Structure 1
Amino acid sequence: MTIRALLIAAALTTTPALAQDAGTPADAGTAAAGTKPAPKKGDTVKATLKDAQGKDVGEVTMEQAPMGVLVKGSLMNLPAGEHAIHIHETGKCEAPEFKTAGGHFNPTKKQHGVLSPKGKHDGDLPNLHVAQDGKVQFDFFAHGLKVKSLLDKDGAAVVVHAKLDDYHSDPTGDAGGRIACGVAEKQ
């Protein structure tokens, strides 16, 4: 991963420390062992991505956390190199161009990119660094995003682009065509 990519990932995932809920009693068996109970699982959506030929590309899950959404994915069958990944505003993935997914998820009407002084879209995520074997696994934190907002009347989709996101060009980060898409569905 390049230094720039690490800095961008750090900027996207930096959040204030989460306070422990002092009002929730700990399980006696867990407290005795000196460990904290696992947090309650938040609302979750999953997108199963396909490429333009309908070939499986993997899945992305998004789980609600107190300050945003934890985005996890395991993808395959992608071209090696850097690729943008975004959450798009409409839950529709018609191949081959996936334009039915609409623009980036942007309910606050900001400009694109974490490097933009007027950005970022809620659907902007860090670039993927796909290995030579076409596989990538990732965990991102999307600060401020809410799973519930992705489940509005027209839904949302996860889209992988042909090129990397430059993190500032509006409206798409000059990320190129859409090469994979999956509709976010409640779990």
Structure 2
Amino acid sequence: MAEKALILLFVALSCRLACTEWADNNRGNGMYHGGYNGNYQGRSGSSGGSYGRFGRPRGIPRSPHERPSYDGTTYSRQTQKKLFATCSMMPDPAAPVLVTGTVRFEQTVSSQNQALSQLQVAVQLRGFETRDNNVDHGMHVHMFGDIRTSCADAGGHYNPTNMTHGSPFSAVRHVGDLGNIFEDGGGQVNTVFMDPVASLVGEFSIFGRGLVVHAGRDDLGLGTGENRTESLKTGNAGARLACCVIAHAADPQI
């Protein structure tokens, strides 16, 4: 009997050692889901929030790295946001007409403040002269947001890259070159367009700068002859009818 008991004890100890060795060898590879001791053993065998084949432990959130992403711009739905800006247009004291209204800006950016979309510009203005033949008006972002005395205080076009004036879609342009807006028969402008260069984020953000609407048509840097020099600076867009300062704005949907 004593000999039989010793044999049974030997077999039991052998099984225990074998089972322990099997569990140790397979811990963390999805075949064994160890207990909780402050860390979960993961598929890679490491600890600290990973998990085994039984899935994510209840109450442990999904890692940001597991969220769907778009490889073209390396962002996920959870890491993008929208920025908004507004500009309340006021007529210049010397202007012959009283142009007023609002220009709103919207852009999708990443949580690291990188632009993920072009800048959307929504223009709603009124008060343009309806008795002339000029329906095109240059609109540009200017250097300064200090327009307390007149629109002239806004300085020249915002041009941090030291380019000549051009079309919004030209490779050579000022950051502030937004091209022309077009009034209807009632002296109003209601339009939405996208700009590929101006931005609400980045080194050359337009926040805090002036926005100016001009009396004349912007020739987009294509002027010739005696108009060539000014064309490359201002587009020969003429006097400043109205201006405003681009300021941060809340989400209009909230």
Q: TM-score, normalised by structure 2?
A: 0.53
CA-CA distance at 1:68 after TM superposition? 2.8
CA-CA distance at 1:125 after TM superposition? 1.2
Given that 1:110 and 1:118 are in contact with CA atoms closer than 8 Å, whether structure 2 keeps it comes out as no
C-alpha distance in structure 2 between counterparts of 1:142 and 1:115, whole Å = 7
Does 1:82 find its partner at 2:136? yes
Does 1:47 find its partner at 2:87? yes
C-alpha distance in structure 1 between counterparts of 2:169 and 2:118, whole Å = 20
Does 1:142 find its partner at 2:195? yes
1:148-167 paired onto structure 2 within 5 Å = 148=201, 149-151=205-207, 155-167=208-220
Alignment equivalent of 2:101, drawn from 58, 82, 86? 58
C-alpha distance in structure 1 between counterparts of 2:248 and 2:99, whole Å = 19
State the partner residue of 2:246. 184
CA-CA distance at 1:62 after TM superposition? 1.3
Deviations 1:61-104 (A, max 9, x none): 111231331111100012241110111111122454x1111111
SS at match of 1:125: strand
1:1-187 paired onto structure 2 within 5 Å = 23-24=76-77, 42-53=82-93, 55=98, 57-65=100-108, 66-80=116-130, 81-96=135-150, 98-114=151-167, 119-148=172-201, 149-151=205-207, 155-168=208-221, 169-187=231-249
Larger radius of gyration: 2
In structure 2, what residue type is equivalent to 1:89?
M
Q: Aligned residues: percent identity?
A: 30
In structure 2, what residue type is equivalent to 1:74?
Q
Deviations 1:141-175 (A, max 9, x none): 11132213123xxx201110010000011110000
The number of residues matched between the two structures is 153
Given that 1:122 and 1:142 are in contact with CA atoms closer than 8 Å, whether structure 2 keeps it comes out as no
SS at match of 1:43: strand
In structure 1, what residue type is equivalent to 2:89?
L
SS at match of 2:195: strand
State the partner residue of 1:35. none
Given that 1:79 and 1:130 are in contact with CA atoms closer than 8 Å, whether structure 2 keeps it comes out as no
Given that 2:161 and 2:174 are in contact with CA atoms closer than 8 Å, whether structure 1 keeps it comes out as yes
SS at match of 1:147: coil
* Alignment CA distance shift 1:165-1:109 (3 Å): same
SS at match of 2:178: coil
In structure 1, what residue type is equivalent to 2:246?
A
C-alpha distance in structure 1 between counterparts of 2:90 and 2:171, whole Å = 32
Q: Which runs of 5+ in 2 are unaligned?
A: 1-71, 109-115, 222-230, 250-254
Deviations 1:104-161 (A, max 9, x none): 111111110129977211111131111231101111211132213123xxx2011100
